[in-house]
Amino acid sequence: GIQVEQSPPDLILQEGANSTLRCNFSDSVNNLQWFHQNPWGQLINLFYIPSGTKQNGRLSATTVATERYSLLYISSSQTTDSGVYFCAVGRSQGNLIFGKGTKLSVKP
């Protein structure tokens, strides 16, 4: 099956800093999503981005499908950005396969 690797596994930032999270996947996919899991466990959809670049406020994401990786950029980080960020991939209308996540801690 498809393998998904996220890096780094843990990231500690000072408030205001920028960061880049990476997601590598082992095969072609038609679905790639980034999520933020809040402290209560809810998965918040950040981006649906099987290819290309998108931006939403301080967050942006880029997927290079031909090279099988995606990047999530967080600029001017805030303490509320803390949590676990997951990358998940899938094919067509099938299930998503999740990476192990990046745990982000933003210190005031």
Partner 1 sequence: GAVVSQHPSWVICKSGTSVKIECRSLDFQATTMFWYRQFPKQSLMLMATSNEGSKATYEQGVEKDKFLINHASLTLSTLTVTSAHPEDSSFYICSARDLAAKLNEQFFGPGTRLTVL
Looking at residues 67 to 86 of the shown chain, list those that interact with partner 1 (rule: CB under 8 A). 86
Which of 10, 15, 48, 53 is close enough to bind partner 1 by CB under 8 A? 48
Q: Are 85 and 7 in contact (CB under 8 A)?
A: no
Does position 30 interact with partner 1 (CB under 8 A)? The reply is yes
Q: Are 61 and 34 in contact, with CB atoms under 8 Å apart?
A: yes
Task: Answer yes or no: are the C-beta atoms of 50 and 61 closer than 8 Å.
Answer: no
Beta strand 102-107 pairing with 10-14? parallel
Residue 25 sits in the site that holds partner 1 (CB under 8 A): no
Contacts with partner 1 by CB under 8 A lie at: 30-31, 33, 35, 40-43, 45, 48, 50, 86, 88, 90, 92-101
